[in-house]
Amino acid sequence: MLLSKEIAVELNHTGCRLKQFIAAKLRKAQVPLTPEQFMLIDLLWNHGAMSQQQLADMMKKDKNSVTQLIDAIERKGFVLRQQNAQDRRFNTIVLTEKAMELRDEAKQKGISILDEMLEGISEEELHSFLSTLQKLNDNMSGQ
């Protein structure tokens, strides 16, 4: 198999496996979120209330995908949509008290999951890997 094809297959497999691994670990840790829901709420924990478009941009996802994520975590009681007073077509996504109560424990569990995933890989290897991923993303962005 061509090296480029092997890399594409491994990247796809790794992306799928990453979601499965994190989802299983979050369930085991009793964090009631999917990996993508966790990522969205973590952005709100770190940056405060944001528009749906800001969340989509930061997550590198389309607005419709983020709408579905917000719908799901809103049903779970972790976020609310606040209508923009100047333009009622836009909402600001804010965390609820329930999400704030979950924050510290969930963030620590999330860090532990990532530490477990990266176990045995040196910091130098991780920096090199990150650099390679950034170059791949740049190439696919046409930069």
Question: Are 77 and 98 within 8 A, CB to CB?
Answer: yes
pLDDT of residue 84: 77
* Local structure of 142: helix, strand or coil: coil
Question: Are 128 and 88 within 8 A, CB to CB?
Answer: no
pLDDT of residue 142: 67
Number of structural domains in the chain: 1
What is the residue range of 82's domain? 3-141
* Local structure of 118: helix, strand or coil: coil
pLDDT of residue 143: 52
CATH number at 129 reads: 1.10.10.10
Question: Are 34 and 22 within 8 A, CB to CB?
Answer: no
Question: Are 108 and 24 within 8 A, CB to CB?
Answer: no
* Local structure of 1: helix, strand or coil: coil
* Other C-beta atoms lying within 10 Å of the C-beta of residue 72: 16
The neighbouring-strand residues paired with 95 are: 79
pLDDT of residue 90: 81
Residues of the chain with pLDDT under 50: none
In one-letter notation, the amino acid at residue 13 is H
In one-letter notation, the amino acid at residue 119 is E
